[in-house]
Amino acid sequence: MRRKNIGFFDTYKGNALLSLLSGIAVTIVCLLLFAFAMTGMDMSDGLISSLASISVCIGSYFFSYLVAKKQRKNGILIGLFCGGAAFLLLMLFNLIFVRVPFSEIFFPKLSMLVICSVIGGIIGVNSKIKI
């Protein structure tokens, strides 16, 4: 009996990497759309920060949705993993560009990312659409 040749993106690690890149792409597209919307109007710093947080939450939702959709089990655990990974990536970028690893919005941002990722994982496992 021949063994089926499995590509890298068919494995769990490859699927997670591809989904992470897709989540980053969705986040960038959301940020670009929000930036385009901001060119025509004057917005406060708090609203700009909220729009950035919303776009990161949309990206983490999409990230965990794709991973859970491919795995078809353990949606909550996949969502927790994806939310933690997205938060660590966000903290790394914050450390590189802002030079401050933790700020006063540490726990609210962590909870937003984890909640959106868990919801994405649950919906990804339970959706009927084939990808």
Question: pLDDT category, 129, cuts 50, 70, 90?
Answer: confident
pTM above 0.85, yes or no: no
Separation CA 83–CA 58 (nearest Å): 11
Q: What is residue 131's predicted lDDT score, i.e. its pLDDT?
A: 67
Separation CA 119–CA 19 (nearest Å): 16
Separation CA 10–CA 39 (nearest Å): 41
Q: What is the 3-state secondary structure (H, E, C) of 28-91?
A: HHHHHHHHHHHCCCCCCHHHHHHHHHHHHHHHHHHHHHHHHHHHCCCHHHHHHHHHHHHHHHHH
**Residues 9-37 pLDDT 10s:** 567 778 888 888 899 899 999 999 998 98
